[in-house]
Amino acid sequence: MAFSMLLRTPGYTSRLYTQQMMKLATQASLQRSAVSVLPATANALKEMNTPILNSVRSFRTSPVRLSDEKPHDHSKLWVIEKGVAALMVPILPLGLLLPNKILDSVIAILICAHSFWGLEAIAIDYVRASVVGPILPKIALGLVYIISIATLGGLFYIISHDGGIANTIKQIWAIKSDRQKL
């Protein structure tokens, strides 16, 4: 990434330098079109003198957005993700110490949001359309949504029809301690 940024930005950022490079680039393209009637060897020699500015300008590491919509600001989502992760640190022990439906609901939402963002990042990063085709990434994101909705629904079912998340965890720990006594 740093290499591509180096290629995109000119080494010398003076306005005069940029104007001179643009002048050279346009003169070279004009000379190429004017020389097209000359023999092929003369054309080949002229094409070898093309400035590097044109090739650097066309170099891209990501696809160009073709839509006119405003690009998304992912920095706010990153702050929210880190806030949710930091909020889980005090809420999880508090929910185990004071089991009730409100804290269990907050824990269920935080766990599902945190796992959704993690699974979504995995699906987007590793199931790319350029590698596996256009259909598989859509299926992977659909599975992430289904898993997240099913997880949230299951946790809310445990909260409303069973003892709650905290009491279920305590019951699991009690079973483990009973087995150790035998």
> Do 129 and 159 belong together in one domain?
yes
Q: How many CA atoms lie within 13 A of 177 on its CB side?
A: 6
Q: Of 52, 5, 62, nearest to 24 (Cα)?
A: 52
Using a 10 angstrom Cβ sphere, with 0-12 exposed, 13-18 middle and 19 or more buried, the burial of residue 51 is middle
Alpha helices (runs of H) in the chain, residue ranges in sequence order: 2-8, 15-34, 40-47, 52-57, 74-97, 101-126, 129-132, 136-161, 165-181
Cα separation of 166 and 110, whole Å? 14
Long-range contacts of 145-154 (CB under 8 A, 24+ apart): 147/119, 148/112, 148/115, 148/116, 148/119, 151/111, 151/112, 151/115, 152/108, 152/109, 152/112
> Do 82 and 53 belong together in one domain?
no
Whether 68 is covered by a domain: the verdict is no
Q: By residue range, what is the domain housing residue 81?
A: 74-181
Whether 117 is covered by a domain: the verdict is yes
Residue with tokens 């330098």: 17
Number of domains in the chain: 2
> Do 174 and 103 belong together in one domain?
yes
> Do 45 and 93 belong together in one domain?
no
Q: Mean pLDDT score of the chain, rounded to an integer?
A: 76
Whether 106 is covered by a domain: the verdict is yes
Q: What is the mean pLDDT of residues 102-127?
A: 94
Q: Which of 57, 82, 98 is the last residue of a domain?
A: 57
Q: What is the mean pLDDT of residues 130-135?
A: 90
Q: Is 114 annotated as a binding residue?
A: yes
> Do 157 and 90 belong together in one domain?
yes
Whether 63 is covered by a domain: the verdict is no
Higher pLDDT, 162 or 34: 162
Long-range contacts of 4-12 (CB under 8 A, 24+ apart): 4/59, 4/61, 7/56, 7/59, 8/56, 8/59
Residue with tokens 């409303």: 160
> Do 99 and 53 belong together in one domain?
no
> Do 47 and 101 belong together in one domain?
no
> Do 147 and 96 belong together in one domain?
yes
CA angle at 78 for the pair 120 and 2, rounded to the nearest 5°: 90
Q: Which of 21-25, 38-42, 81-85 has the lowest mean pLDDT?
A: 38-42
Please report the sign of the dihedral spanned by the C-alpha atoms of residue 136, residue 140, residue 146, residue 149: negative
* Percentage above 90 pLDDT, the chain: 44
Q: 158: domain CATH number?
A: 1.20.1300.10
Q: What is the mean pLDDT of residues 90-117?
A: 94
> Do 105 and 166 belong together in one domain?
yes
Q: Tell whether the model's pLDDT for residue 132 goes beyond 50.
A: yes
> Do 50 and 115 belong together in one domain?
no
> Do 52 and 82 belong together in one domain?
no
Q: Is 126 annotated as a binding residue?
A: yes
Whether 84 is covered by a domain: the verdict is yes
> Do 43 and 93 belong together in one domain?
no
Whether 152 is covered by a domain: the verdict is yes
